[in-house]
């Protein structure tokens, strides 16, 4: 992986042209920090208008599949992406453990560890109850500890105690870290498997994936020759291309939508 930082336009024109010329293009994108700026209240996150417009145009372009790939639960991803019933945009939630596809009416993935999930989540909430700014997010296959607003020392202490809790109660669960979040899940799918499933389902010969966080690197590392990987913001990455923020990515997606439509 490299820490080389590219200027927003360096190489992006070539990447857009390559993606636009695909026989069938899959545009798979993280949500938080990628299409929507990071916010203190997670459920208030919304896609930038320019990104929303670009995805709408791409989803209507011929031989083009658009998907959101997020660590959010499918229910929460549908809410923050403001999915409508006739949406053409596929959703992969819980890091690829849950899917919604256009035309589908429901998702029936079961959580066989629901009892253990509920018990550990309740205990985790007790652990952080007196840590100001820290809170537990209920997830379909586990839970997440958010520390974005917490004092750093108290956050470190809470993380250690939550780690101990899961190490003792569910040692086989998958542990993930991100920007001010620690999460655990009984399911082991990742964004790499989500992108692979979307590629296989759509028959895409080129994938464009963009993300801003550690969990997105699973997908970025899995990309094949000819695919396009974009890192949004700083951090070490396997991506060949980088843009500074969600607004810059929205501009790239707008250019891609124009090129894909032959405008």
CATH architecture of 114-185: 2-Layer Sandwich (3.30)
What pLDDT score was predicted for residue 5?
44
Could you report the per-residue pLDDT of 194-210, keeping only the tens digit for each? Answer: 999 999 999 999 999 99
Note whether 12-106+189-260 and 114-185 share their fold.
Answer: no
CA angle 138, 184, 28 (to 5 degrees): 85
pLDDT band at 108 (very low <50, low <70, confident <90, very high): low
> Which of 76-90, 92-106, 205-219 has the weakest average pLDDT?
92-106
Distance CA 62, CA 77 (A): 25
Please count the residues of the chain: 263
Among residues of the chain, what percentage have pLDDT more than 70? 93
What pLDDT score was predicted for residue 104?
77
Q: In sequence order, which ranges of 93-245 are alpha helices (DSSP H)?
A: 114-127, 152-169, 191-202, 216-222
pTM of the model: 0.88
Query: In the predicted model, is pLDDT for residue 262 greater than 80?
Result: no
Beta-ladder partners of 183: 144, 176
Mean confidence (pLDDT) of the chain? 92
Could you report the per-residue pLDDT of 141-166, keeping only the tens digit for each? Answer: 999 999 999 999 999 999 999 999 99
DSSP one-letter code for 13:
H
List the strands of the sheet with 142-146, edge to edge.
135-139, 142-146, 181-185, 174-178
Sequence ranges of the domains in the chain: 12-106+189-260, 114-185
CATH architecture of 12-106+189-260: 3-Layer(aba) Sandwich (3.40)
Query: In the predicted model, is pLDDT for residue 88 greater than 80?
Result: yes
């Amino acid at each position: 992986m490299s820490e080389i930082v590219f200027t927003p336009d360096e190489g992006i024109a070539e990447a857009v042209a390559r993606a636009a010329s695909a026989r069938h293009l899959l545009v798979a994108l993280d949500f938080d920090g990628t299409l929507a700026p990071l916010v203190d209240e997670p459920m208030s996150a919304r896609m930038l208008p320019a990104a929303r417009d670009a995805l709408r145009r791409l989803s209507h372009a011929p031989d083009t599949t658009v998907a959101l790939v997020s660590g959010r639960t499918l229910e929460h991803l549908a809410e923050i992406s403001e999915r409508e019933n006739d949406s053409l945009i596929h959703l992969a939630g819980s890091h690829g453990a849950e899917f919604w596809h256009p035309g589908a009416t429901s998702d029936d993935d079961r959580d066989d560890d629901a009892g253990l999930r509920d018990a550990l989540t309740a205990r985790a909430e007790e652990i952080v109850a007196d840590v100001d700014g820290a809170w537990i997010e209920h997830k379909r296959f586990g839970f997440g500890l958010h520390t974005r607003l917490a004092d750093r020392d108290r956050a470190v202490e809470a993380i250690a105690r939550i780690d101990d809790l899961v190490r003792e109660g569910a040692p086989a669960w998958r542990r993930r870290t991100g920007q001010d979040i620690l999460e655990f899940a009984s399911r082991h799918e990742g964004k790499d498997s989500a992108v692979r499933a979307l590629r296989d389902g759509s028959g895409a010969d080129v994938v464009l994936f963009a993300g801003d966080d550690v969990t997105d690197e699973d997908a970025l590392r899995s990309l094949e020759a000819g695919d396009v990987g974009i890192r949004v913001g700083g951090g070490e990455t396997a991506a060949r291309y980088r843009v500074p923020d969600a607004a810059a990515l929205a501009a790239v997606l707008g250019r891609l939508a124009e090129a894909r439509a032959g405008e």
